[in-house]
Amino acid sequence: MKLNIALLAGDGIGPEVIDQAVKVCDAIAKKYDHNISWKPALTGAAAIDAVGEPYPDETHEICANADAVLFGAIGHPRFDNDPSAKVRPEQGLLKMRQKLGLFANVRPTFTFPSLIDKSPLKRDRIEGTDLIILRELTGGIYFGERGRKDDGNTAFDTMTYQRFEIERLAKKGFEFAMKRSKKLCCVDKANVLESSRLWRETVQAMEKQYPEVEVSYEFIDAVAMRLIQWPKGYDVIITANLFGDILTDEASVIAGSMGLMPSSSVGSKVSLYEPIHGSYPQAAGKDIANPLATVLSAAMLFEDMNMTNEAEEIRRVVNKSLAEGYVTEDLAEGGKSYKTSEVGDWLASNI
């Protein structure tokens, strides 16, 4: 099969982890006789430096015309402590999500047998965890009205949701639940927020279309606690943009490292695949970042293209590297570790 994949390396460790995913995908293409044509494009701080804009039109064209987008990370510390910065790398990511219509962010959380004891959480609590957090990605407080008033002394961000935005995300949630253990949890703050009450009302109204799915409604603060106390209590979680951002970082602790968790962002047309971690600027250029989250994001890409064997092959080789200790320093616990590029070469040569 011929695949056109837009390649957005982005900032910080983005280019390094993306390089490894490319090696792995190229090895898969060779083994399974596919033809991948990579279309590199600029985004984030790298794009600001080059053209003054974090998601340039040319990049959008490349993404919109691709079969899928593989994305590294975005963000640069020189913008973080500069409240006056007019353009920020993160705006590129938000614009990309919005312009590509990527309204659902699929973030699975699972454990790796060889890493269970690397998690700070107890083995019996986390072993066998297998859940999906579906985060709404193009609405809510990330995209609501924001600004300053009172000569800059008051700042506001608004959380707005429209019924159709909740419906389309919830529909994906119900569909995932039907394919899995038929449990859906709507996570909100309906005891305080009006937008959360609309979430509940909307999801409740959809329940009768999916009589087999057992739906629960829980508050975000309680879920923040239960998620690490008893993650096996969850199967599919649907939640608003900001809540999902926070919960998915938290959930990565279950797997043992932020460097392991992949994601896909889906909408009406092209989908995007990216690790859930950020640009980790302290590690940029050092060849030490864990590439596995990006490699596993590529597995999600193949899965969504109905190339199940290819996806399985990637997961198999990742598990093998973990079991054999061919890992980057974040997973080595002071033992022998390998460079980002060495892990990528090893994975590709074991395919």
Binding string, residues 61-80; x marks residues near ligand IPM by CB under 6 A: -------------xx-----
Q: How far apart are CB 285 and ligand IPM at their closest, in Å? A: 19
- Residue among 36 and 224 whose Cβ is closer to Mn ion: 224
Contact flag: residue 90 with ligand IPM (CB under 6 A)? yes
Q: What's the CA gap between 159 and 142, in Å, rounded?
A: 8
* Token reading at 308: 């199940």
Contacts 24+ apart (CB under 8 A), 199-204: 199/161, 199/166, 199/240, 202/163, 202/166, 202/167, 202/170, 203/166, 203/170, 203/238
Of 8, 9, 47, 93, the residue at the interface with ligand IPM (CB under 6 A) is 93
Task: Show the beta-strand stretches assigned E in the chain.
Answer: 2-10, 35-40, 68-73, 104-110, 130-136, 146-149, 154-157, 183-188, 214-219, 236-239, 262-266, 271-275
- Residues with Cβ within 8 Å of 138's Cβ and at least 6 positions away in sequence, in order, are 97, 98, 101, 102, 103, 165, 241, 267
Q: How far apart are CB 186 and ligand IPM at their closest, in Å? A: 20
- Taking each helix axis from N to C end, the angle separating 194-206 and 163-179, rounded to the nearest 10 degrees, works out to 50
- Residue among 218 and 245 whose Cβ is closer to Mn ion: 245
Of 90, 245, 329, 330, the residue at the interface with Mn ion (CB under 5 A) is 245
Contact flag: residue 136 with Mn ion (CB under 5 A)? no
Catalytic residue among 23, 39, 118, 142: 142
Residue 74 contact among ligand IPM, Mn ion, none, beta carbon within 5 to 8 Å by kind: ligand IPM
Is-catalytic flag, 245? Answer: yes
- Residues with Cβ within 8 Å of 294's Cβ and at least 6 positions away in sequence, in order, are 17, 18, 20, 21, 70, 72, 262, 274, 275
- Residues with Cβ within 8 Å of 86's Cβ and at least 6 positions away in sequence, in order, are none
Q: How far apart are CB 245 and ligand IPM at their closest, in Å? A: 5
Q: What number of chain residues touch ligand IPM (CB under 6 A)? A: 7
Is-catalytic flag, 235? Answer: no
Is-catalytic flag, 32? Answer: no
Enumerate the β-bridge partners of residue 2: 35
Distance of CA 191 to the CA centre of its chain: 28
Contact flag: residue 45 with ligand IPM (CB under 6 A)? no
- Residue among 264 and 337 whose Cβ is closer to ligand IPM: 264
Contact flag: residue 13 with ligand IPM (CB under 6 A)? no
- Residue among 77 and 278 whose Cβ is closer to ligand IPM: 278
Is-catalytic flag, 345? Answer: no
Q: How far apart are CB 114 and Mn ion at their closest, in Å? A: 26
- Residue among 218 and 245 whose Cβ is closer to ligand IPM: 245
Instruction: Give, as one character, the DSSP assignment of residue 259.
Output: G
Enumerate the β-bridge partners of residue 183: 214
Is-catalytic flag, 142? Answer: yes
245 carries a ligand binding annotation: yes
Q: What's the CA gap between 296 and 258, in Å, rounded?
A: 12
Q: Is 124 exposed, middle or buried (0-12, 13-18, 19+ CB in 10 A)?
A: exposed
Residue 90 contact among Mn ion, ligand IPM, none, beta carbon within 5 to 8 Å by kind: ligand IPM
Q: How far apart are CB 256 and Mn ion at their closest, in Å? A: 18
For the annotated catalytic residues, the residue numbers are 142, 189, 221, 245, 249
The annotated binding site is made up of 97, 107, 135, 221, 245, 249
Applying CB under 5 A, which residues contact Mn ion? 245
Footprint of ligand IPM (CB under 6 A): 74-75, 90, 93, 245, 276, 278
